[in-house]
Structure 1
């Protein structure tokens, strides 16, 4: 099956690119002793979990359905976390998770009786320091609801749990900045950590970024773990799937109103929501920064400001031409929606053998079912 015969829009996951990131994960684990659990909030396409399982230790979640998915399709350790559990949520996952991490001491007090004897119990702490490019994604932002603030920690509660989770990074590509955060945590919370069994340092540590000093990171993690005698966890998401997946689209029209706009058969609002939320332009595989022909790459949704980016090309774009919107896996495939009733992208994986495997496709009935469950006669 040739790519040119596949109907757009579609995602194409590249197994070789994924394996390249996973080999870096293997290196980090070997040097540091850290365990890595995949953050399903970033990437949940379980059709490629067979590639990931030999390299990672399990999954971590942000809601009950992710806990179930990790348990059923990935295995290994299943970590359950949520900013706000209901009692029903806890009952649903208590028997299938290995670690249950609560966001607050009040939630811990309300529900730990449902978990005791079943899963290792942890609590999220907010260290008050972080590395995040935008305030929207900053766990230590003013009035943050994420984790227990240092001044609010109850020592008796800390003495009754097995571990803690800190999450204070977002796409942190600076190993020295991360080590600075690590030192701050050790200095501020060390007397608590010394009595625990495990510590999760969350996600957002971009150790697969080109040029990242994995050895320096590994030695810092190992020293931290040895100092406090804990098992360390990281919760990578983007680091595992970065630069592995393209969203392939087709130019369906070209219009001009001061600038030329190439309208494609996809939309950020429906298929690449983070582009819109964070106002971070996408990258186009066929673009040429030195090209003479400039276009807005616009979506086919009705939202006036819905566009992927502005890009330059060596040659004029043509209707029917395909474009690759690069790096479209993380926080993208998990946020797909049916806005405007647009065709949902099919999901493929190009295996190392060259074979293209279809993982999932969606049709009108999927759209219809998402809106109501009753048949219309």
Structure 2
């Protein structure tokens, strides 16, 4: 649906598409007994948590502000994890989280006295195996700092914690590959897992991808849970919000240097950072692989290589035309920044009844305040 009255750039979250993903999540929970906690590092737009809360069990975090946000706006279980906690971080959230998961045995030993009696204790383990398309996002990459390797574990630690967390997937659309990881974890860590109350298998399991065999995944999760006598958790982020949101932009100029570039009023570096970081071209609504008119969709930032994609259209683009950059919810709104002093996209939700709800908008005062609040005399 077009909304010419809204000024670009803006994000538009579609409630109906979000519910479609959530219904799949509900099915997975019912078949497997797994609990699902939303990964706030991927998506934290709390203005739509009223849609998500009835389907999921809580939230998980990667830093203290996310813990607070989950507790304040989502409820349910609040899981706290960080690669590196300071003592102040732990004190800040120990009273409001249900589970606190430490990244290392050093951190667990240093801070457990601040948590005991308040939240359940967990430890992240690194199985040394993973499924990730890029090394940058691979938790089991060489020299990884994420979690405790099996040959570094002190077995005594398992008698004084409640659970463990593994995170070894990134956009894993292959259920058989995930099951192989499960089997590997069971073989490596099974005797330890048998002593615990719960195990989190992290995020990155793309069970809402079209054609994904949810029943097969559910059966594998249930078998693992029964084998080790643990409550399982998954930490979906992208799986919940995939294909729910467009970033809507306007073509403000068209330039040509061997290839035409449509410059839009947005930038990957400021508004869709993962496009740049992972060099994964965006998809544009209405583009055509067989189209005769080829364009770079370029940003309005000053970074020379800042572009959304190179794609084709059946008809020439025009200045003033709006483009919808698809699948723009995950790792976008949580990473917005003020590079170049560009206007930050507003955030809207189109409800199932057709109503468009404004969730947030940003102006010059937000930009100014983000850089300094007080002058130095």
The match for 2:3 is 3
Q: Secondary structure, in 3 states, of the residue corresponding to 2:294?
A: strand
The match for 1:91 is 91
Return the alpha-carbon distance in structure 2 between the equivalents of residues 4 and 310 of structure 1: 25
1:2–1:176 distance in 2 versus 1, CA, 3 Å: closer
Return the alpha-carbon distance in structure 2 between the equivalents of residues 288 and 8 of structure 1: 23
The match for 2:245 is 245
**Deviation at 1:159?**
1.4
Q: How does 1:74-113 map to 2 (within 5 A)?
A: 74-113=74-113
Q: Deviations over 1:36-58 (max 9, x none)?
A: 00000000000000000000000
Return the alpha-carbon distance in structure 2 between the equivalents of residues 44 and 352 of structure 1: 20
The match for 1:271 is 271
The match for 1:313 is 313
**Deviation at 1:374?**
1.7
1:206–1:2 distance in 2 versus 1, CA, 3 Å: closer
Return the alpha-carbon distance in structure 1 between the equivalents of residues 121 and 159 of structure 2: 11
Return the alpha-carbon distance in structure 1 between the equivalents of residues 11 and 98 of structure 2: 32
Q: How does 1:41-60 map to 2 (within 5 A)?
A: 41-60=41-60
Stretches (4+) displaced over 4 A? none
**Deviation at 1:290?**
1.1
The match for 1:233 is 233
Q: How does 1:125-274 map to 2 (within 5 A)?
A: 125-274=125-274
Please say if 1:298 is aligned against 2:311. Answer: no
Q: Secondary structure, in 3 states, of the residue corresponding to 1:5?
A: coil
Return the alpha-carbon distance in structure 2 between the equivalents of residues 202 and 210 of structure 1: 21
The match for 1:37 is 37
**Deviation at 1:376?**
9.7
Return the alpha-carbon distance in structure 1 between the equivalents of residues 147 and 50 of structure 2: 33
Unaligned 5+ segments in structure 2 are: none
Q: Secondary structure, in 3 states, of the residue corresponding to 1:3?
A: coil
The match for 1:19 is 19
Q: TM-score, normalised by structure 1?
A: 0.99
Return the alpha-carbon distance in structure 1 between the equivalents of residues 301 and 155 of structure 2: 52
Q: Deviations over 1:4-50 (max 9, x none)?
A: 11000000000000000000000000000000000000000000000
**Deviation at 1:375?**
6.0
Return the alpha-carbon distance in structure 2 between the equivalents of residues 40 and 266 of structure 1: 24
Q: Report the count of equivalent residues.
A: 377
